[in-house]
Chain A
Amino acid sequence: MELEKLVWLIPLLPIFGFAVNLFFGRFLPRIAVNVIACGAVLGSMILSWVAFGYVRHHAHDPGFEGLISAGLPWISVPGTESAWGKVLAEHRLVIDQLTAVMILVVTNVGFLIHLYSTGYMADDKRHSRYFSYLNLFTGFMLILVMASNLLLMFVGWEGVGLCSYLLIGFWFEKNENAAAGMKAFVVNRIGDFGFTVGVLWLFFYLGSEFQVWTLDFREIGRTIAAHHDAILPSVMTGVGILLFVGATGKSAQLPLYTWLPDAMAGPTPVSALIHAATMVTAGVYMVARMNFVYAMSPTAMTVVAVVGGLTALFAGTIGVAQNDIKKVLAYSTVSQLGFMFMGVGVGAYAAGIFHLMTHAFFKGCLFLGSGSVIHGMGGEQDIRKMGGLKKYMPITFWTFLIASLAISGFPLLAGFWSKDEILWKAFDAHDLKIPGPVIWSMGIIAAGFTAFYMTRLVVLTFFGEPRYAKAEEHHDAHGGHGHGHGTPHESPWSMTVPLIVLAFLSVFGGFIGMGAWTGLSNVFEGWLAPVFGGHGAEPHKVPPMEYVMVAVSVIVGLGGILLGLKVYLWDKGRAAEAFAQKARPLYELVRDKYRVDELYNAVAIEPLLATNEMLGRVDNIVVDGAVNGAASVSAAVSNRTGYFDNEVVDGLVNGAATATQTAGRAARRLQTGHIRQYLTTALIGGLFVIAAFCLWLNRAAFQGFLGLN
């Protein structure tokens, strides 16, 4: 079978695994479920590498647009050749360089997380359901990144949103978990509205102006390129911003990020996969994919970059004051996503995607590590109740440490390269509406915060004296686990192996995207260059500023780490405590995530609910009133009708009987018994007959006789 058809297997294998586990998983032993789920993703992973190989082989063929799968027309409007007689959207997957990167990330990291889940969710009572959801998510995510057109991508977009909801609220026995799932879905939806409007606007604009009715990425790109000068920048700005609104929802940027911290209510592997490595990155992917739109609109790009920067900064500050290990990582994710948007916002699409990839490595590792900690702690998630775990969970500790160093931008680790690239490109951006350095400054401060709070996290979790004396009484907050145990323990191999792999990638995965200042070619950027219409990042003349930037970011990163160490490790957090006491309001504000949720609640949710309530009452009154009124009206009508029916119908029937009687009585009088009368009547009757006969016989003659002719 040709590769074109095999491409479809990449998303379909996980979906098939979903179906099998959904319907039959209940009856299969756990090991079988594990094998099916992981095997499906493994299959996709292998096929992804094959596809990658193919793309790499053909990358420099002229006019190569990617590995195009076999497709089916999806929406076409037949019979109207004029403008609509085209296939508007197809079921088709295309793997170009960008998509290849994405599917590799999704399938590889996804496979590791599936493997991890076999250990983490081993005792869960809805084991097979979990894996079916996880597979479904993987399938949808693959569709999202492999889609050839906006509509199919949107299918994946919504699909991952659905799976996110299902998986966040997986332990729905606790209300707050279900609520978190709902929140994630609803906030996502708000973003999707913007996305949809943007898509439609673009579609109609291109169609009405240039008679190109299409949703296909490449066709849109070609059209925009062909009519480069005729396109209204304002339209592109509007479209760009609207699409970015969707990305805001999906990728948890300001102001639609509030669902992500709450989403930590789901199982930790879910957080790792969906909310660190893959789903939240869909927004970044989308912006990168629609680069031709953003390239036409500096305003939109500015918006993207600014929002990204602000989010990075904002979330970074919150992360400092969080005490739940997963919440820290959640805000860290939001912040890093902001970095990614900063990257694509300033036009450094390759850098943004690169950071996406490295972030998948180290954030995935961090989340899985936190899951391992939680697992080992019997469900404890508050880092104030941890400490000194490094001797009980060495593998977890070392992998966690490596990953947090990577995220902090420790030189030569993966995060260093990707963050650096973004920061430099941000600084160097000159097509935006605001100067690049402004954005850069947001980023650098956020990077500093990142380093600080990650160090805090590591220190509080793994170093110092154990603070979990009361840990055994604490029932697991994440369910599934039943063992209150005294000593934290290392996790099984199914959980530690992925940690090791991801840590490895966190160290060595960055080398393919080394910045140009090293003098080596940026393989990653070169790989993605055909997609973004740019040329490979050949070693160009490196401005000195770049070196300065690199140095600054290194200093900031290391400085953050050192500060964190000082405050929390050497000082045992006393300075932090004092600071928190002195600036209690500020501290509490930050700890309470700036009370954004409360703000949203008060501004949007409460009025909405009040309106609901009021409308409900109105509806009740009106509807009930209407129904009751209708009931009484119909009762009255039926009463009248019944009365009428009685009178008229009975009257008719009785009247018929009476009429018959009367007629009979009248007719009876004919029977007088008088023979002569009978004879007379007979005669007169016979007379008529005879008359008729005579007249008929002589009609002509009579007419002549009477002169009628």
Chain B
Amino acid sequence: MTDYLFSRHPLENFLVISAALFVLGVYTIITRRNAVSILMGVELVLNAANVNFVAFSQYMPGAGIHGSMFSIFVILLAAAEAAVALAIVIGIYQNFGRVDVDQADLMKE
């Protein structure tokens, strides 16, 4: 084997990390009452997915460039989505004075 700076970590390491991040993000989403916290959870989830994509892209012989491309796009879209979502949250705060999702039940039947 030649000596080079190629990671010899098995793919599974990345997968475990990504799974953990994903689950923590999901937990954040369903547990938190603050809207911004929920958005933070969303970012966690997206990042976990990204890790997965990139890992597969780099490690699997047939994946090619597409995994990395996808993760680029995910990043871009996360940005757009975060902007819009936070704008909404701020709008809610301006209208209702609070961002507790449990109290945002005007649509309740």
- With a cutoff of 8 Å between Cβ atoms, the chain B residues found around residue A671 in the complex are 107-109
In Å, the complex CA distance between A665 and B29 comes to: 28
B36: min CB distance to chain A, Å: 13
Contact digits for A668-693, partner B, Cβ 8 Å, 1 yes 0 no: 10011111100110010000000000
Contact digits for B1-32, partner A, Cβ 8 Å, 1 yes 0 no: 00000000000000000000000001001111
Residue contact A674 to B105, C-beta cutoff 8 Å: yes
In Å, the complex CA distance between A675 and B42 comes to: 14
Residue contact A676 to B109, C-beta cutoff 8 Å: no
> Known interface pairs A679-B30, A680-B30, A683-B26. Does A674 touch B101 (Cβ–Cβ under 8 Å)?
yes
Residue contact A673 to B30, C-beta cutoff 8 Å: no
A678: min CB distance to chain B, Å: 9
> Known interface pairs A679-B29, A683-B30. Does A672 touch B101 (Cβ–Cβ under 8 Å)?
no
Residue contact B33 to A676, C-beta cutoff 8 Å: yes
In Å, the complex CA distance between A34 and B56 comes to: 122
Interface bracket on A: 10 to 19
Contact digits for A647-685, partner B, Cβ 8 Å, 1 yes 0 no: 000000000000000000000100111111001100100
- With a cutoff of 8 Å between Cβ atoms, the chain A residues found around residue B65 in the complex are none
- With a cutoff of 8 Å between Cβ atoms, the chain B residues found around residue A675 in the complex are 101, 104
B89: min CB distance to chain A, Å: 12
- With a cutoff of 8 Å between Cβ atoms, the chain A residues found around residue B105 in the complex are 672-674
Interface size on B, residues (CB 8 A): 14
In Å, the complex CA distance between A356 and B29 comes to: 128
A612: min CB distance to chain B, Å: 83
In Å, the complex CA distance between A674 and B32 comes to: 12
- With a cutoff of 8 Å between Cβ atoms, the chain B residues found around residue A673 in the complex are 104-109
Instruction: Find the A residue at minimum CB distance from B109.
Output: A671
A661: min CB distance to chain B, Å: 14
- With a cutoff of 8 Å between Cβ atoms, the chain A residues found around residue B104 in the complex are 673, 675
A670: min CB distance to chain B, Å: 9
- With a cutoff of 8 Å between Cβ atoms, the chain A residues found around residue B29 in the complex are 679, 683
- With a cutoff of 8 Å between Cβ atoms, the chain B residues found around residue A668 in the complex are 109
Of the candidates B26, B30, B107, B108, the one having the most CB atoms from chain A within 10 angstroms of its own CB is B30
Residue contact A676 to B30, C-beta cutoff 8 Å: yes
Instruction: Find the A residue at minimum CB distance from B35.
Output: A675
Instruction: Find the A residue at minimum CB distance from B105.
Output: A673
In Å, the complex CA distance between A155 and B106 comes to: 101
- With a cutoff of 8 Å between Cβ atoms, the chain A residues found around residue B107 in the complex are 671, 673
In Å, the complex CA distance between A680 and B33 comes to: 13
- With a cutoff of 8 Å between Cβ atoms, the chain A residues found around residue B109 in the complex are 668, 671, 673
In Å, the complex CA distance between A122 and B36 comes to: 127
Contact digits for B76-109, partner A, Cβ 8 Å, 1 yes 0 no: 0000000000000000000000000110111111
In Å, the complex CA distance between A675 and B102 comes to: 7
- With a cutoff of 8 Å between Cβ atoms, the chain B residues found around residue A680 in the complex are 30
B88: min CB distance to chain A, Å: 12
A663: min CB distance to chain B, Å: 14
A638: min CB distance to chain B, Å: 47
- With a cutoff of 8 Å between Cβ atoms, the chain A residues found around residue B26 in the complex are 683
In Å, the complex CA distance between A673 and B108 comes to: 4
Residue contact A676 to B101, C-beta cutoff 8 Å: yes
Residue contact B108 to A676, C-beta cutoff 8 Å: no
Query: Which of A210-256 touch B at CB < 8 Å?
Result: none
Residue contact A676 to B31, C-beta cutoff 8 Å: yes
In Å, the complex CA distance between A680 and B108 comes to: 17
- With a cutoff of 8 Å between Cβ atoms, the chain B residues found around residue A672 in the complex are 105, 108
A567: min CB distance to chain B, Å: 128
B33: min CB distance to chain A, Å: 7
In Å, the complex CA distance between A668 and B108 comes to: 9
Query: Which of A40-83 touch B at CB < 8 Å?
Result: none
In Å, the complex CA distance between A109 and B101 comes to: 126
A44: min CB distance to chain B, Å: 104
A228: min CB distance to chain B, Å: 111
Instruction: Find the A residue at minimum CB distance from B107.
Output: A673
B71: min CB distance to chain A, Å: 20
- With a cutoff of 8 Å between Cβ atoms, the chain A residues found around residue B33 in the complex are 676
- With a cutoff of 8 Å between Cβ atoms, the chain B residues found around residue A679 in the complex are 29-30
Contact digits for B49-73, partner A, Cβ 8 Å, 1 yes 0 no: 0000000000000000000000000
Instruction: Find the B residue at minimum CB distance from A684.
Output: B30
A17: min CB distance to chain B, Å: 98
Contact digits for A629-641, partner B, Cβ 8 Å, 1 yes 0 no: 0000000000000
Instruction: Find the A residue at minimum CB distance from B102.
Output: A674
Of the candidates A668, A672, A673, the one having the most CB atoms from chain B within 10 angstroms of its own CB is A673
B11: min CB distance to chain A, Å: 16
Instruction: Find the B residue at minimum CB distance from A679.
Output: B30
- With a cutoff of 8 Å between Cβ atoms, the chain B residues found around residue A683 in the complex are 26, 29-30
Q: Nearest 6 CB-CB pairs, A to B?
A: A673-B108, A673-B105, A671-B109, A680-B30, A675-B101, A679-B30
25 contacts between A and B (CB under 8 A): A668-B109, A671-B108, A671-B109, A673-B104, A673-B105, A673-B106, A673-B107, A673-B108, A673-B109, A674-B101, A674-B102, A674-B105, A674-B108, A675-B101, A675-B104, A676-B31, A676-B32, A676-B33, A676-B101, A676-B102, A679-B30, A680-B30, A683-B26, A683-B29, A683-B30
18 A-B pairs besides A674-B105, A683-B30 with CB distance below 8 A are: A668-B109, A671-B108, A671-B109, A672-B105, A672-B108, A673-B104, A673-B105, A673-B106, A673-B108, A674-B101, A674-B108, A675-B104, A676-B30, A676-B31, A676-B32, A676-B101, A679-B30, A683-B29
